[in-house]
Amino acid sequence: MKKLLSLFLVFTFLLWNLSFVSAEETCKEEIIENAWNYTFSPDWKSFAYVKEKNWKWIIVKDWVEINKYDSGVDKLKYSPDWKSFSFMVYNDDKQFIVKNGVEWNKYTLVFDLKYSPDWQGYYYEVYKDWKDFIVKDWVEINKYDIVGQLTYSPDWKDFAYVAGKDWKVFIVKDGVELNKYDSISYLKYSPDWHGYVYVAWKDWKRFIVKDWVEWNKYDRVDELVYSPDWQGFAYVAGKDWKAFIVKDWVEWNKYNGVDELAYSPDWLGYAYVVKNDWKDFIVKDWVEWNKYNLVDGFKYSPDWYGYVYVAEKDWKWIIVKDWVEINKYDNITYNFKYSPDWHGYAFVAEKDWKAFIVKDWVEWNKYDRVDDLAYSPNWKMYAYVAKKDNLYFIVKNWVEWNKYNGVDELVYSSDWQGYYYVAEKDWKWVIVKDWIEIGKYDSVLNIGYSSDWKNFAFDARKNWKRFIVKTICSWETETITETNPPLKANYSKQLIISKTKLNKTTSWKSQIKAIDSLINKQTNEKLEIIFKNIWTIKLKMNIKTKNKYANLLDYLESSIWIKLWK
């Protein structure tokens, strides 16, 4: 395949060829009234949902009504192969599971239903006659006053849970009751399921219980961490008003407080946050770092060489990254974003009553509020929600989108070319998908998308009605020439099917200079057409080429947008 070249040549090509085929996305809505709790097969060819009709609650699969009940139906589930299904029924003060049309035993309460990977085994917790117990593969297991924290081995052959009886709690492993204590937490099992560990409380002391053995007793025990091979361990302990790390039975330095214990994947490096003498600081591999008024949000790079945390100093908040203090701000959110190689970073900061993004030391545009910062996996695209003049909007790659009274649930496709979010407009909520507004509802929730990003569905309410909206999006084509261009910026993304043959790539600086020069010479009508062409170029590129030219495409799009609408 011939290499694509400099983007300004693409730009020039588009100027010379203003007759093309356009495809504008249209979405067709299919409304299913009095319905909710939908689920789709992985290929989105089959679907099921719960519906209310003539005072009956009905399960509908592929438009066929399966079961009817006089009262509530909920928690509809399907197996991965879409051949088995189950749901819960609330009927006559009783609850029960229906699997593949077969009603299971009725109980006062039923919850926490889970299936084995092949959907042949199952368990759930039930309550009946003032007792809690587990039902596993049709068998009712011993009854207790309370049951919880049910855990299964990967092969589904072994299981364990916490049970309570006569004011004591204990572990039940494979049907066997272990030692009784006043409280139990942090239950964990080794990868091979042969070893186990938990934190127990007895006689006002806390301690680790590992494989039947009780360890040293302390006033506090938490944040238990185990090595991948299950041979090493560490946790935070407290005794005599002091806190410290216990690693492989050895007690380390004592402080007023210890939190956020973390270990490297190879178990050789460690770090934690210390609170001592009214100061916070990091202790890494026995070394105490700089002291601040407060330290929080401590994170490490995957290779354990880089790190970052938030610190408060002189009534200002700073980012400390790899020993370097980054600018002081009035506030910093903990929504850190880091590039895969840990070289790039971004976060949301506030200063002088304004919020903005800080990326690689550079402060971006300031707004009244900034939320939901997100970056593409290749770190070349970003988006966030901003607020200005009491209106909310999406900012993607420097471009501000349409403004609404509210914006929520911004989600991007895996390639970051498609997106949707929920927006409030004129006291109604709409779905915005790839620049297109869909519907107006009193509320929107539970949005689901197909893997190809063409189909989606959501639960909605309108005029006191509850329904499912199932939407299919397609592309309608038309020919656009220089004599009939779309002259108004309606923000509808259009695709252009075109083939270009380019020669040799120039430097980034030369491309930017050429783009700026060409943009300044064009009419707004031509720029609007080219603005809509950019997305086609992105879609026609393969992954390697797209990664190579992503920054130039974003620069071209942003530059045109700024000239046209700012």
* Alpha carbon separation from 270 to 248, 282, 317 (Å, rounded): 13, 10, 25
538 vs 457 pLDDT, higher one = 457
Please give the pLDDT value at position 171: 92
469 near 458, Cβ under 8 Å?
A: yes
Lowest-pLDDT range of 133-147, 271-285, 405-419, 481-495 = 481-495
Pull the structure tokens for residue 437: 């507004």
**What dihedral angle (degrees, nearest 10) is formed by the CA atoms of 272, 275, 277, 280?**
80
CA–CA gap between residue 174 and residue 194 (Å, rounded): 12
Do the beta carbons of residue 503 and residue 9 sit within 8 Å? yes
**Strands across the sheet containing 146-152:** 146-152, 159-165, 168-173, 176-181
Q: Is the pLDDT of residue 2 over 50?
A: no
The predicted model gives 332-349 an average pLDDT of: 85
How many CB atoms within 10 Å of residue 233? Answer: 19
Q: What is the pTM of this model?
A: 0.71
d(Cα 21, Cα 41) in Å, to the nearest integer?
A: 34
The tally of CA atoms less than 13 A away on the side-chain side of residue 49 is 24
b/e per residue, 234-267, with b = 16+ CB within 10 A? Answer: bbbbbbeebbbbbbeeeebebbeebbbbbbeeeb
Rounded (10°) angle between helices 524-540 and 7-16: 120
Map residue 357 onto helix, strand or coil.
strand
Q: What is d(CA 475, CA 535) in angstroms, rounded to the nearest whole number?
A: 14
- In sequence order, the β-bridge partners of residue 188 are 197
Q: Is the pLDDT of residue 492 over 80?
A: no
Contact 431, 444 (CB under 8 A): yes
Residues 236 and 221 sit within 8 Å (Cβ to Cβ): yes
Tell me the backbone φ, ψ of residue 514, rounded to 5 degrees.
Answer: -65, -40
Please report which confidence band the pLDDT of residue 242 belongs to, taking 50, 70 and 90 as the band edges.
very high
Query: What is the C-alpha separation between 126 and 120, in angstroms, rounded?
Result: 20
Q: Which residues contact 284 (CB under 8 A, 6 or more apart)?
A: 269, 270, 271, 307
153 neighbors 160 (Cβ within 8 angstroms) = no
Q: CA-CA distance, 529 to 487, in Å (whole number)?
A: 8
Q: 432 with 421: CB under 8 angstroms?
A: yes
Residue 558: the pLDDT is 66
pLDDT at residue 407 tops 90: yes
- So what's the pLDDT on residue 512? 59
Span 415-438, pLDDT tens digits: 888 888 999 988 999 988 877 888
Chain mean pLDDT for the chain: 80
Q: What is the mean pLDDT of residues 232-252?
A: 91
Q: What does the pLDDT average to over 540-551? A: 54
Indicate the residue type of 179: N
